[in-house]
């Protein structure tokens, strides 16, 4: 049945892709977005936003504007958020205001105008370090990354000083909130699941891993690492890789994330649940930098391994997708190499300012890279 769906942050990278998919299935889509300058330098409706999407420009903390945008809405996908882990460590008030107060205002309005379902974008950041296994095969849940190890390595060590191996992290792992952004995302998740249940709505939260794909904000220096690297490589600059580059992540293509949101919106099994969403394949940041340079025809550009850590960063985190697969019916499909090629082709058609050096200076000024 066709529904009217409100996507907060709907003019952004993920929102535009979700909107397109919903429109293709005959739904009506309204996007609520403040078009912040960091993401939308022109502060105008993005050309990539499907013309069929009704765009309401407003701040997520503006209850009156949000209340109007909720009129006639059946379901909400809540994406509006500040998303830079590093930036969250110094823009504390802005992040907490937009992410947490913004979600509170959304629910304050939903109490009066309830929707059938609300799906919130959470993050793997809520886990802090992922799950690890010691050399003796013991699973370690509450790993805390210390400063760099005395021998110069970065992997968390067990009690006997041996490096531990990252293993897929299930939703049952206790959260460990290591950045303001992680704190914000956990609050968003809890507000959504608590208040939907309280007020007769259905709620679900997706803990997303690192999303990439065409349409990423290339000029935003605080965006995901693949967009940052793409922008650097496009300008003939070496990607700046923090630590030793061996930190592992799961890079999930935006089309797979779209399918996860669709399932979370539709499946009865999603209600009241949180799900890990990734690609099921983990990679080191250095490998990704090399693959990406090659995909952009610049295999000659060597990554610059900075041996410096960014404040708030976790070392390794890779998802266990069992719950998403079995309960949600989620199955990631995008091949990474092909995804990078598609990203490279899209990047080649874009113009972006290389603002990464500027962003790094801001972190350095505040002592947040060491
Ligand atoms: C990212 C998202 C966050 C999302 C999370 C889910 C952004 C800004 N952050 O956080 O919103 O919830 O994924 O998984 O999109 N790195 C470099 N060089 C750089 C930039 C980053 O080496 O120039 C490294 C980082 O130190 C980190 C890795 O790349 O080890 C990933 O960084 P990033 O893309 O910012 O993602 P997360 O911090 O994982």
Catalogue the long-range contacts made by 17-25 (C-beta closer than 8 Å, 24 or more residues apart).
17/213, 17/215, 17/254, 17/255, 17/257, 17/258, 18/77, 18/79, 18/257, 18/258, 18/261, 18/262, 19/49, 19/50, 19/53, 20/50, 20/258, 21/258, 21/259, 21/262, 22/262, 23/50, 23/52, 23/53
Measured distance CA(364)–CA(366) in Å, rounded: 5
Catalytic residues: 181
Number of compact structural domains in the chain: 1
**Is 241 contained in some domain?**
yes
Residue 298 lies in a domain: yes
Enter the tokens of residue 261: 């949101």
Residue from 225, 222, 220 nearest 241 by CA: 225
pLDDT of residue 351: 66
Q: Ligand 1 center to residue 298 CA distance, Å? A: 22
What is the reported pLDDT for 319?
98
pLDDT of amino acid 369 = 73
Of all protein residues, whose CA lies closest to atom 2 belonging to ligand 1?
A: 224
Domain hosting 148: range is 4-365
Can you give the CATH number for the domain in which 177 is found? 3.40.50.720
Domain-located, residue 187: yes
10-residue mean pLDDT series, the chain (370 residues): 96 97 98 93 92 98 98 98 92 98 98 98 97 96 87 91 95 95 98 98 98 89 86 92 96 98 98 98 97 96 94 90 98 97 89 60 71
DSSP three-state, residue 361: helix
Whole-prediction pTM value?
A: 0.93
pLDDT at 148 (0 to 100):
87
SS3 content of the chain, % helix, strand, coil (to 5): 35, 20, 45
Q: How far is the CA of 210 from the centre of ligand 1 (A)?
A: 7
Residue 370 covered by a domain: no
């Amino acid at each position: 049945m066709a529904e009217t769906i409100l996507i907060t942050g709907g003019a952004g990278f993920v929102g535009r892709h979700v909107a397109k998919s919903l429109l293709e299935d005959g739904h009506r889509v309204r996007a609520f977005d403040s078009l912040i300058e960091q993401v939308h330098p022109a502060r105008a409706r993005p050309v990539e936003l499907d013309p069929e999407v009704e765009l309401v420009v407003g701040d997520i903390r503006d209850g009156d504007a949000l209340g109007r945008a909720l009129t006639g809405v059946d379901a909400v996908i809540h994406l509006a958020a500040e998303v830079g882990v590093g930036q969250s460590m110094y823009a504390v008030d802005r992040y907490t205001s937009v992410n947490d107060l913004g979600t509170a205002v959304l629910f304050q309005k939903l109490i009066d105008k309830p929707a059938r379902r609300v799906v919130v974008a959470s993050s793997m950041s809520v886990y802090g370090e992922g799950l690890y296994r010691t050399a003796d095969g013991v699973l370690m849940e509450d790993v805390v990354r210390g400063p760099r190890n005395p021998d110069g390595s970065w992997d968390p060590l067990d009690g006997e000083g041996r490096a531990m191996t990252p293993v897929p992290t299930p939703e049952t792992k206790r959260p460990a909130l290591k950045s303001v952004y992680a704190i914000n995302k956990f609050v968003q998740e809890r507000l959504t699941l608590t208040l939907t249940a309280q007020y007769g709505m259905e709620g679900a939260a997706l803990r997303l891993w690192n999303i990439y794909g065409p349409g990423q904000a290339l000029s935003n220096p605080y965006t995901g690492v693949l967009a940052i690297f793409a922008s650097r490589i496009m300008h003939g600059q070496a990607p700046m890789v923090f630590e030793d580059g061996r930190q592992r992540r799961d890079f999930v293509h935006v089309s797979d994330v779209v399918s996860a949101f669709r399932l979370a919106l539709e499946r009865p099994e999603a209600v009241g649940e949180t799900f890990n969403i990734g690609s099921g394949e983990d990679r080191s940041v250095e490998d990704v930098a090399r693959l990406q340079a090659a995909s952009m025809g610049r295999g000659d550009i060597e990554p610059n391994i900075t041996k410096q850590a960014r404040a708030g960063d976790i070392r390794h985190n890779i998802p266990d997708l069992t719950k998403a697969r079995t309960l949600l019916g989620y199955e990631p499909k995008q091949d990474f190499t092909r995804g990078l090629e598609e990203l490279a082709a899209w990047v080649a058609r874009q113009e972006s300012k290389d603002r990464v050096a500027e962003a790094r200076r801001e972190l350095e000024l505040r002592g947040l890279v060491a």
